[in-house]
Amino acid sequence: MRVLLVEDHRSLARSLCRGLEEEGFAVDLAEDGDIANQKARTADYDVIVLDVMLPKVDGLTLLKKWREDGLKTHVLMLTAKDSVEDKVSGLNTGADDYLTKPFHLEELLARVRALIRRRHQAKDPVIKVFDLEIDTAGRKVRRAGKLIHLTPREYALLELLAYHRGQVVSRRMVWEHLYDEYDENTSNVVDVYIRYLRTKIDKDFEPPLILTRWGEGYYLRGETD
Say if 225 falls within a structural domain: no
Q: Do both 81 and 142 map to the same domain?
A: no
The last residue of a domain, from among 61, 93, 119: 119
Indicate whether 55 and 133 sit together in one domain.
no
pLDDT the model gives residue 79: 87
Q: What is the pLDDT of residues 96-130, one digit of tens each?
A: 999 998 899 999 999 999 999 898 887 788 999 99
Q: Is 117 exposed, middle or buried (0-12, 13-18, 19+ CB in 10 A)?
A: middle
Lowest mean pLDDT among 145-154, 160-169, 177-186: 177-186
Confidence of residue 182 (pLDDT cuts 50, 70, 90): low
Same domain, 102 and 179: no
Q: Helices (DSSP H) in the chain: which residue ranges?
A: 10-22, 33-42, 59-68, 84-93, 105-119, 152-163, 171-178, 189-201
Q: Taking 70 as the threshold, does the pLDDT of residue 61 lie above it?
A: yes
Distances (CA, A) of 202 to 25, 101, 109, 140, 208: 24, 43, 29, 16, 5
Mean pLDDT across 53-65: 94
Question: Which of 1-15, 75-89, 114-128 is most confident?
Answer: 1-15
If asked whether residues 108 and 6 sit together in one domain, one would say yes
pTM: 0.83
Query: Which residues contact residue 117 at a Cβ distance below 8 angstroms, ignoring those fewer than 6 apart?
Result: 123, 125, 136
Contact 4, 40 (CB under 8 A): yes
CATH code of the domain in which 84 resides: 3.40.50.2300
Q: Give residue 214's domain range.
A: 126-220
In the chain, the number of structural domains is 2
Say whether both 108 and 134 belong to one domain. Answer: no
Mean of per-residue pLDDT scores for the chain: 90
Determine which of 30-34, 77-81, 152-156, 215-219 has the lowest per-residue pLDDT on average: 77-81
Residues 46 and 137 in one domain: no
The burial class, CB within 10 Å (0-12 / 13-18 / 19+), for 88 is: exposed
